[in-house]
Amino acid sequence: MQIKTITVNKSEKNKEGVKIDVVVPASDVEIELLSFLMAGYIRDAATNGKFKVDLPDQYRITYQAEGSFLITTEPGVSAAKSGGNPFYTPPKPVAVVAIQRFGKRYDLAYAAINQEAFKTQKAPAPAAAPKAPKAAAKKAPGKK
């Protein structure tokens, strides 16, 4: 594992953003290990009120990039748990989590993901096709 400095919260007001040190796994084994350990830690932190994100009963943690992990709902929930919906339910993002380093101390850095942004939006009504221009009526030869 490595410690990498990343920049977050860049905006027009804060062009430099905030630099934080995060743990970045260096191999697939480290990714799997951190995901496994974080799942229990996050569950305990949420139970103790230290993780202020509404977690579903079942969730999955996957590595994204730059030391960040994504918490999502478990995909394909059975019909009994989804209110009778017999169709596949895709995973929904819940939060982004990283392991942040403060000198010799480590803690979670996290942010909830706004679920409103992922709701399906109504597609705009298709524009009416333009009408073909009417051709000028041709006059029969010899008529005025």
pLDDT (tens digit per residue) in 82-138: 566 667 777 888 899 999 898 889 888 888 887 665 555 544 555 555 555 565 556
Give the pLDDT score at 79: 53
Whole-model pTM above 0.85?
Answer: no
Asked if residue 135 is part of any domain, the answer here is no
Structure confidence at residue 8 as a pLDDT band (50, 70, 90): confident
Asked if residue 51 is part of any domain, the answer here is yes
Asked if residue 134 is part of any domain, the answer here is no
Give the pLDDT score at 114: 77
Give the pLDDT score at 51: 87
Asked if residue 138 is part of any domain, the answer here is no
Q: What is the 3-state secondary structure (H, E, C) of the chain?
A: CEEEEEEECCCCCCCCCEEEEEEECCCHHHHHHHHHHHHHHHHHHHHCCCCCCCCCCCEEEEECCCCEEEEEECCCCCCCCCCCCCCCCCCCEEEEEEEEEECCEEEEEEEECCHHHHCCCCCCCCCCCCCCCCCCCCCCCCCC
Give the pLDDT score at 17: 82
Domain boundaries, position 102: 2-117
Report the number of distinct structural domains present in the chain: 1
Mean pLDDT lowest among 16-20, 25-29, 47-51, 114-118: 114-118
Asked if residue 100 is part of any domain, the answer here is yes
Percentage of the chain lying above the pLDDT 90 cut: 15
Of the two residues 51 and 133, the one the predictor is more confident about is 51
Whether pLDDT at 32 is above 90: yes
Asked if residue 32 is part of any domain, the answer here is yes
**Considering the chain, what is the average pLDDT of its residues?**
78
